[in-house]
Amino acid sequence: MKVLVPVKRVIDYNVKVRVKADGSGVDLANVKMSMNPFDEIAVEEAIRLKEAGKADEVVAVSIGVKQAQETLRTALAMGADRAILVIAADDVHQDIEPLAVAKILAKVVEEEQPGIVLAGKQSIDNDMNATGQMLSALLGWSQGTFASELDIDGDSAKITREVDGGLQTISVKMPTIVTVDLRLNEPRYASLPNIMKAKKKPLDEKTAADYGVDVTPRLEIVKTEEPAARAAGIIVGSVDELVEKLKEAGAV
Amino acid sequence: MQFGLSDEQEMIVSTVRSFVENEIYPHEAEVERTGQVPHALGEAIKQKVIDLGFYACNFPEEVGGAGLSHLDFTLVERELGRGSMALTHFFGRPQNILMACNSEQRDRYLLPAVRGERMDALAMTEPDAGSDVRGMKCQAQRDGGDWVINGSKHFISGAEHADFFIVFIATGVDETPKGPKKRITTFLVDRGTPGFEVREGYNSVSHKGYKNYILYFDNCRLPDAQVLGEVDGGFAVMNKWLYATRLTVAAFSVGRARRCFDYALNYAAERKQFGQPIGKFQGVGFQIADMITEIDAADWLTLAAAWRLDQDLPSNREIASAKLYASEALARVTDTTLQIFGGMGLMDDFPIERFWRDARVERIWDGTSEIQRHIISRDLLRPLGA
Ligand SMILES: Cc1cc2nc3c(=O)[nH]c(=O)nc-3n(C[C@H](O)[C@H](O)[C@H](O)COP(=O)(O)OP(=O)(O)OC[C@H]3O[C@@H](n4cnc5c(N)ncnc54)[C@H](O)[C@@H]3O)c2cc1C
Ligand SMILES: Cc1cc2nc3c(=O)[nH]c(=O)nc-3n(C[C@H](O)[C@H](O)[C@H](O)COP(=O)(O)OP(=O)(O)OC[C@H]3O[C@@H](n4cnc5c(N)ncnc54)[C@H](O)[C@@H]3O)c2cc1C
A221 vs B382 pLDDT, higher one: B382
Partner-chain contact A193 B15, CB within 8 Å: no
Ligand 1: centre distance to CA B127 (Å):
10
pLDDT at B169: 98
A180 pairs with which residues across the strands? Answer: A120, A147
Mutation site, B6, B13, B14, B57, interface A, largest A CB count within 10 A: B14
DSSP H or E run through A136: helix A131-139
Measure B166 CA to nearest chain A CA, in Å. 28
Q: Are B74 and B247 in contact (CB under 8 A)?
A: yes
Mutation site, B5, B15, B19, interface A, largest A CB count within 10 A: B15
With beta carbons under 8 A apart, name residues in chain B contacting A34: 14
Per-residue pLDDT tens for A85-107?
999 999 988 889 999 999 999 99
Question: Which among A34, A192, A194 has the least Cβ separation from residue B57?
Answer: A192
Q: Is the pLDDT of residue A232 over 80?
A: no
Ligand 1: centre distance to CA B57 (Å):
28
Partner-chain contact A198 B52, CB within 8 Å: no
Nearest CA to ligand 2 atom 19: B343
Mutation site, B11, B18, B19, interface A, largest A CB count within 10 A: B11
Is the distance from the beta carbon of residue B155 to the nearest atom of ligand 1 less than 6 Å? yes
With beta carbons under 8 A apart, name residues in chain A contacting B18: 189
Between CA A65 and CA A178, with CA A114 as vertex, the angle to 5 degrees is: 80
Helix, strand, coil shares, percent, chain B, to 5:
55, 20, 25
How many Cβ pairs within 8 Å bridge chains A and B? Answer: 41
Measure B10 CA to nearest chain A CA, in Å. 9
Ligand 2: centre distance to CA B339 (Å):
9
Distance CA A59, CA A117 (A): 10
Measure A34 CA to nearest chain B CA, in Å. 10
B226 vs A32 pLDDT, higher one: B226
Partner-chain contact A189 B18, CB within 8 Å: yes
Distance CA A95, CA A98 (A): 9
Nearest CA to ligand 1 atom 30: B130
Partner-chain contact A192 B52, CB within 8 Å: yes
Distance CA A19, CA A28 (A): 9
The contacts of residue B20 (CB under 8 Å, 6+ apart) are B79, B80, B82, B83, B88
Asked if A35 has any chain B CB less than 8 Å from its own CB, the reply is no
pLDDT at B2: 87
pLDDT at A188: 94
- Residue B117: CA count within 13 A, CB half-sphere: 8
| Dihedral sign, Cα of residue B93, residue B159, residue B251, residue B358 | positive
pLDDT at A248: 85
pLDDT at B346: 98
Q: Is the pLDDT of residue A75 over 90?
A: yes
DSSP H or E run through B200: strand B196-200
Q: Is the pLDDT of residue A168 over 80?
A: yes
Asked if A235 has any chain B CB less than 8 Å from its own CB, the reply is no
Q: Is the pLDDT of residue A29 over 90?
A: no
Pocket (CB within 6 angstroms of ligand 2): B 271, 273-274, 278, 281, 283-284, 339-340, 342-344, 346
Asked if A191 has any chain B CB less than 8 Å from its own CB, the reply is yes
pLDDT at A23: 87
Q: Chunk chain B into consecutive blocks of 10 residues (it has 386) and report each block's average pLDDT, rounded to whole numbers.
A: 90 96 97 96 98 96 95 98 98 96 98 98 97 95 96 97 98 92 97 98 97 98 97 93 91 98 97 98 98 98 97 96 98 98 97 98 97 97 96
Partner-chain contact B15 A70, CB within 8 Å: no
pLDDT at B13: 96
With beta carbons under 8 A apart, name residues in chain B contacting A189: 15, 18-19, 52
pLDDT at A249: 81
Asked if A189 has any chain B CB less than 8 Å from its own CB, the reply is yes
Distance CA B127, CA B216 (A): 12
Measure B303 CA to nearest chain A CA, in Å. 20
Distance CA B333, CA A247 (A): 48
Which atom belonging to ligand 1 lies closest to the Cα atom of B124?
Answer: 11
Distance CA A73, CA A200 (A): 10
Q: With CA atoms as reference, report the closest residue to A41 among A161, A180, A160, A163.
A: A180
Nearest CA to ligand 2 atom 52: B343
Task: Indicate the pLDDT class of residue A231, thresholds 50, 70 and 90.
Answer: confident
With beta carbons under 8 A apart, name residues in chain A contacting B53: 191-194
User: CB atoms < 10 A from the CB of B321, how many?
Assistant: 22
Partner-chain contact A192 B18, CB within 8 Å: no
